[in-house]
Structure 1
Amino acid sequence: MKVLSLLIIALLAMPSAQAWATGQVINRILVKINNNIITQYDLDEKLQPILDQIKDRELSAAEQEQLKALRKRALVDMVNDILIQQEVELYGIAITDEDVEKEIDRIKQERELDDDAFEAAVAQDGLTVDEFRERLKQMMEKQEIVGHKVNKKVLVTDSEIEAEYEARKDQYSLDKTVEVALLLLPVDVSAVEVRTRIADGEMTFAEAVAKYSVGPAVDSGGSLGEMKYADLAEEWRQALVGVPEDGVSDPLTIQGQQALLSPLKISEDALVPLEDVRDDLFQQLMQKKREQAFTEYFDQLKESAVIIYMDESMKPDDGE
């Protein structure tokens, strides 16, 4: 929960510069929401931190238009907040002071903040600790109503997780890997001759390593372990092109000596196992469904509410 940057970050709107330049205080009803109202004073109070920053500025015509749009957005947010609060009251949801303090303690612990550091962090958002408590309480109430009306109705099935995994296979594909065995030959042994003997079945690659190799991993058949193709040296990649598992490459020179390579195991289309990402997919699908369900619930809530904008110029655009 991103609580230390709570509701002030998006304080979005401001009144006209002219009203503030003249020091006028206008308190008129802007919106009626069922049995509640929002006044000019309410809107200005919410936006006070921003208003304080611009009241001495001379704004251009373009800035005035931007502020008007932001102001409308802020009013929409306030209307939405009231609709949720009405639902909180309707369902008798109550967040106690103890609940709030427990959440604050959790935040402090999660962010490793002592009391002074917490108070300083809250102050950076322009809030006192008491104001923060009140806003946190409101947010927790909203979470409760969302849980009551939305979360209990959201389910994610195993088949949905599996379908999402299939749809995202490109995201879960691993780099092509190969387990490479190296046979590094002494100067008096012909790489071509040894390769021919292995190819004809006279000896296995591991037996050739045990008999001839002056390189590493002699006891394990020359195996250097699994590597990403992308991490191999260019001459190694070229030597392995077209060579099947347990096959033998054409001779190549490594550190001045003749050598042979054998791809003991090739993983072309390896994927991160479903079980390794199941929980992440579940959380992502759950969040997506919750957002969709909340949007549907909130659209119905707005449709059933009586919302009257007293000033048509403050009415939100379609879709808001």
Structure 2
Amino acid sequence: MKRMNKTIGIFLVLFAAAGLLGQNIVEAIVAVINDDIITLSEYKQEYTSRMRMLRAQLQGEELSQQQEILKENLLESLITDLLLLQEARKLGLDVTEQVRMTLENVKRENNLTSDEELKRALAQQGISYEDFIKQMEQNMLKQNIIFSQVGRKIAIDDSEIVSYYKVHQEDFIEPIEYTLKMIYIAQEGKSSEEIESRKEQIDQKLDANEDFGQVAGEFSEGPEKDSQGDLGSF
């Protein structure tokens, strides 16, 4: 079955959007869904994150078009995601084992031998291990609830087809494949001003819709430089 592929471009300032609101401003709420809310800072953070992913895959006019689509559809997408997570909680879905297996796969493909090495690799990109796990859990819960709800609506009378489906359920799941890319800036031997200047250079190129892989090949100081920031897929 054809895989869905999503490329994730990671840079040091990926999650900086949470600080966009002034300290004296009460957090704004953009949507209330049952007992949950979506705040303005969450909305801005998600917009920034998704734009990073788009810049890692697209450029030019195509990127501009997708940016406009994102602006139009982001809030609806966040509401849909939250409704799916609420339903998953209500049904008591558990993705602990799926998360564990995915983490092992990520470590294996990136030559990491322990959770501590993965934590350090994420921390170098400004991403906390806890946020990484939380996002992975939420993605898996959403996939599982979609599959469970779709499965309930499939009515098949032929007993042989039903039996085949039960035995081969995994064949009917279309997996999402994530490609992880990053730009690594080494801190050793650099002043904070030098590091900040380098980050600004990279940000300017990405904001100008330059190809993420080319920027990684030019600026990254890690072993992934030669592969244009590509850390593999999972």
- Asked if TM exceeds 0.5, the reply is no
RCO higher in structure (CA 8 A, sep ≥6): 2
- Normalising by structure 1, report the TM-score: 0.32
- Normalising by structure 2, report the TM-score: 0.42
Structure with larger Rg: 1
